[in-house]
Amino acid sequence: MTQGSPEIERLIELMARLPGLGPRSARRAVLQLIRKRGALLVPLAEAMQAVAATAQECVNCGNIGTDSLCGICGNAARATGELCIVEDVADLWAMERAHVFKGRYHVLGGTLSALDSVGPEELRIPRLVERIREESISEVILALNATIDGLTTAHYIAEQIEPLGIRVTSLAQGVPIGGELDYLDEGTITAALRARRAL
C-alpha cells in the first residue's frame, strides 16, 4: 500500500500487468521512477505518450512502426526480392538484431492452430500471396519457430505459394552455436544430422 495515493497505486497496478513484473517489482520500479523524476519518469512518460500517439502496424508487412509503412518496407534498398516470413514482430526484431538479412519481412501474427481455431484467414496468408505477386519476390524464406504448429504453418504456406513458382526455403535446424551434443534432445540431433553438410 502507498498510504492513500490513488494515482501512484494506479501506476503500480498498471506496471504490474507488464510481462515479467509482479506487484512487488512494479512497486520497486515505480519508486525508482519517482526518485528519478527528471531523469527517468518525465522522459518515460513523454516517450510513452509519443508512442501511444504514433505506433501502428505496417499495412504492408505487419511490423510495428510509427508510419503506415514501416522503415523496412519504405526502404527501396531492402527490395532484394527476398521475403522472410516470421510469426511475430518479436521474431522480426530478433532477425534484425543479427544484421544478416537485407530483404523484407512478412509478419503472420501467429501460427495455424487447430486447438485455438486459428486458420489461414486469421493469419496474414492471403496478403502474403498478394505481396509475392506485387513485389516480384524471387525467394520466400520461412523463418518460423521449429514447433509442430510452426512447421505445420510453414508447410501450409509452402503449399499455397508453390503454384507461383518461386523458391521457398526455410531456416536450418540443428545444433545451436555454443550448444553441446550431450544436452540436445534427440529431435534436434536428428534434424542436425539430416541437415549435415560437407566441410
Partner 1 sequence: MAPGRARIAPPRRHDCERMKLQMDWRDEGALLSARPHGETSAIVEVFTALHGRHAGVVRGGSSRKLAAVLQPGTQVAVEWHARLEDHIGSFRVEPLRARTNAASDRRSLFALGSACALLAFSLPEREPQPPLYAATQYLLDALGQDQGWPGLYLLWELGLLETLGFGLDLSACAVSGATDDLVHVSPKSGRAVSRASAGIWADKLLPLPPCLRGTPPGSTAELLEGLQTTGHFLERRLAPAMGNRPLPAARRRFVEVLAREAARE
13 binds partner 1 (CB under 8 A): no
179 binds partner 1 (CB under 8 A): no
DSSP tag of 114: T
152 binds partner 1 (CB under 8 A): yes
| Among 96, 156, 166, 174, interactor with partner 1 by CB under 8 A | 156
User: How far apart are CB 13 and partner 1 at their closest, in Å?
Assistant: 17
User: Contacts with partner 1 in 95-124 (CB under 8 A)?
Assistant: 112, 114-117, 119
Contacts of 114 (CB under 8 A, 6+ apart): none
> The cell 526518485 sits on which residue?
35
DSSP tag of 198: -
| Among 3, 134, 177, 194, interactor with partner 1 by CB under 8 A | 194
Strand ordering across the sheet containing 139-142: 104-107, 82-86, 139-142, 167-170
DSSP helix/strand/coil, 9: helix
Look at residues 184, 72, 90 and name the one whose alpha carbon lies nearest to residue 145.
Answer: 90
88 binds partner 1 (CB under 8 A): no
185 binds partner 1 (CB under 8 A): yes
Binding site for partner 1 (CB under 8 A): 19-20, 112, 114-117, 119, 147-148, 151-152, 155-156, 158-159, 185-187, 190-191, 194
